[in-house]
């Protein structure tokens, strides 16, 4: 898989096709537990009180979701993801974490910069009784449009006006490189414009972090590069009372709770460095299985919480909720 496959062109879905495909899916998602509504899943992990707030969902085409699958096995997997043979919904699970005097949001969704089925974070926060002005910290796992696109509102103001922002130093350097358009393929130029819009908007309140740094006590940055060159995940200390002594918020290090547990050697079509992403994805899932870590995945079936178990040479995802 080359970087050219990360073209934003695949998201320019014909509006009629999109509406036809998404209305049936939206109806089915509504029936799932909290899938697309403000019915917020809330749980405690150590000193962290976590609400998983949905930003809606994205529709991804089969060639991005399953580039390595045989044509004959694709339709069944796409159906298990809740989709059609051509497209499947990817949820967007945003952890909103209370700890001490902080209220922390991990990724701020699509805003108005991506598909119409996403960008619901602000509405769902409101419905859940969470005031955006109380958010003290926003951590961006990376600066793709479905993760940082909610940074600035349509009126130009910040969604989280009182928050400090955190992104990895590598991510900042990658997207804000003045020579980006000269050195990176054209397919990524649109994403770079969006990333620059979001990152420059919070430049005066941005902390650049790296592996091992703590956002707050007990919330540590993990280097999970590959999906983007500066992608990070977060590991939260403490137990959940069920024998899991850590929780990893994966971001897009693992983009599906079905595909990459069952097929850890398959690539994902939106990884900037597909081989590095695969290596780090597999290592994270394997460590989660060994250490019985709880996992929270951004694009996994809502609320995206569970753990990894070994299953022969692969893994299986065991949902916690």
Closest by Cα among 247, 249, 245 to 233: 249
Between CA 93 and CA 117 the distance in angstroms is 14
Count residues binding Zn ion (CB under 5 A).
2
Per CB under 5 A, the segment of 60-68, 140-148, 183-191, 193-201 that binds Zn ion is 140-148
**In the complex, minimum distance from the CB of residue 313 to Zn ion, in angstroms, rounded to a whole number:** 27
The H or E element containing residue 127 is helix 121-127
Q: Which of 252, 271 has the CB closer to Zn ion?
A: 252
Q: Which of 99, 224 has the CB closer to Zn ion?
A: 224
**Is position 146 an interface residue for Zn ion (rule: CB under 5 A)?**
yes
Site string for Zn ion, 235-264 (x = CB under 5 A): -----------------x------------
Per CB under 5 A, the segment of 43-51, 67-75, 145-153, 194-202 that binds Zn ion is 145-153
**Is position 271 an interface residue for Zn ion (rule: CB under 5 A)?**
no
**In the complex, minimum distance from the CB of residue 178 to Zn ion, in angstroms, rounded to a whole number:** 26
Between CA 282 and CA 299 the distance in angstroms is 17
Q: Which of 171, 252 has the CB closer to Zn ion?
A: 252
**In the complex, minimum distance from the CB of residue 310 to Zn ion, in angstroms, rounded to a whole number:** 26
Between CA 67 and CA 266 the distance in angstroms is 8
Tokens representing 158 are 């910040």
Between CA 291 and CA 28 the distance in angstroms is 35
**In the complex, minimum distance from the CB of residue 129 to Zn ion, in angstroms, rounded to a whole number:** 26
Per CB under 5 A, the segment of 62-70, 139-147, 175-183, 189-197 that binds Zn ion is 139-147
Q: Which of 55, 252 has the CB closer to Zn ion?
A: 252
**In the complex, minimum distance from the CB of residue 143 to Zn ion, in angstroms, rounded to a whole number:** 11
Quick one: CA dihedral 285, 303, 66, 13, positive or negative? negative
Q: Which of 46, 226 has the CB closer to Zn ion?
A: 226
Per CB under 5 A, the segment of 113-121, 141-149, 256-264, 284-292 that binds Zn ion is 141-149
Pairing assessment for the beta strands 214-216 and 219-223 based on DSSP bridges: antiparallel
**In the complex, minimum distance from the CB of residue 107 to Zn ion, in angstroms, rounded to a whole number:** 8
Between CA 293 and CA 306 the distance in angstroms is 9
Q: Which of 209, 253 has the CB closer to Zn ion?
A: 253
**Is position 171 an interface residue for Zn ion (rule: CB under 5 A)?**
no
Tokens representing 67 are 């580039």
Q: Which of 1, 216 has the CB closer to Zn ion?
A: 1
**In the complex, minimum distance from the CB of residue 292 to Zn ion, in angstroms, rounded to a whole number:** 26
Ranges assigned E (strand) in the chain? 41-45, 48-61, 87-99, 102-106, 137-139, 164-168, 206-209, 214-216, 219-223, 232-237, 246-251, 294-297, 305-311, 314-319
Collapsed DSSP state (helix, strand, coil) of residue 260: helix
Other beta carbons within 10 Å of 70 = 7
**In the complex, minimum distance from the CB of residue 255 to Zn ion, in angstroms, rounded to a whole number:** 6
Between CA 124 and CA 120 the distance in angstroms is 6
**In the complex, minimum distance from the CB of residue 150 to Zn ion, in angstroms, rounded to a whole number:** 12
Q: What are phi and psi of 306, to 5 degrees?
A: 175, -155
Other beta carbons within 10 Å of 33 = 12
Q: Which of 132, 304 has the CB closer to Zn ion?
A: 304
What residues make contact with Zn ion under the rule CB under 5 A? 146, 252
């Amino acid at each position: 898989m080359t970087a050219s496959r990360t073209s934003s062109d695949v998201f320019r879905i014909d509006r009629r096709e999109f509406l036809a495909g998404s209305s049936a899916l939206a109806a089915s998602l509504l029936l799932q537990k909290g899938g697309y509504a403000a019915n917020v899943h809330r749980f405690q992990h150590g000193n962290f009180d976590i609400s998983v707030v949905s930003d809606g969902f994205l529709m991804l085409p089969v060639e991005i979701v399953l580039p390595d699958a045989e044509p004959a096995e694709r339709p069944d997997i796409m159906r298990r993801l809740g989709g059609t043979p051509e497209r499947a919904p990817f949820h967007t699970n945003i952890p909103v974490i209370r700890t001490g005097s902080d209220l922390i949001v991990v990724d701020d969704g699509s805003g108005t910069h991506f598909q119409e089925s996403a960008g619901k974070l602000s509405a769902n926060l409101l419905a859940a009784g969470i005031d955006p002005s109380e958010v003290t910290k926003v951590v961006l796992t990376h600066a793709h449009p479905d993760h940082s696109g909610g940074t600035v509102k349509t009126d130009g103001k910040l969604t989280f006006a009182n928050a400090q922002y955190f992104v990895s130093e590598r991510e900042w350097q990658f997207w804000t490189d003045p020579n980006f358009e000269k050195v990176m393929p054209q397919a990524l130029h649109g994403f770079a414009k969006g990333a620059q819009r979001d990152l420059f908007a919070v430049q005066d309140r941005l902390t650049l972090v790296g592996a091992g740094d703590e956002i707050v006590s007990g919330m540590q940055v993990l280097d999970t590069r590959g999906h983007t060159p500066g992608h990070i995940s977060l590991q939260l200390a403490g137990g959940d009372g069920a024998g899991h002594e850590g929780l990893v918020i994966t971001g897009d290090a693992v983009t599906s709770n079905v595909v990459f547990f069952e097929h850890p050697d398959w690539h994902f079509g939106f990884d900037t460095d597909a081989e590095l992403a695969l290596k780090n994805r597999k290592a994270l899932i394997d460590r989660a299985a060994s250490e019985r870590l709880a996992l929270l995945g951004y694009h996994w079936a809502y609320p995206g919480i569970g753990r990894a178990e070994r299953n022969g040479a692969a893994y299986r995802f065991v949902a916690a909720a």
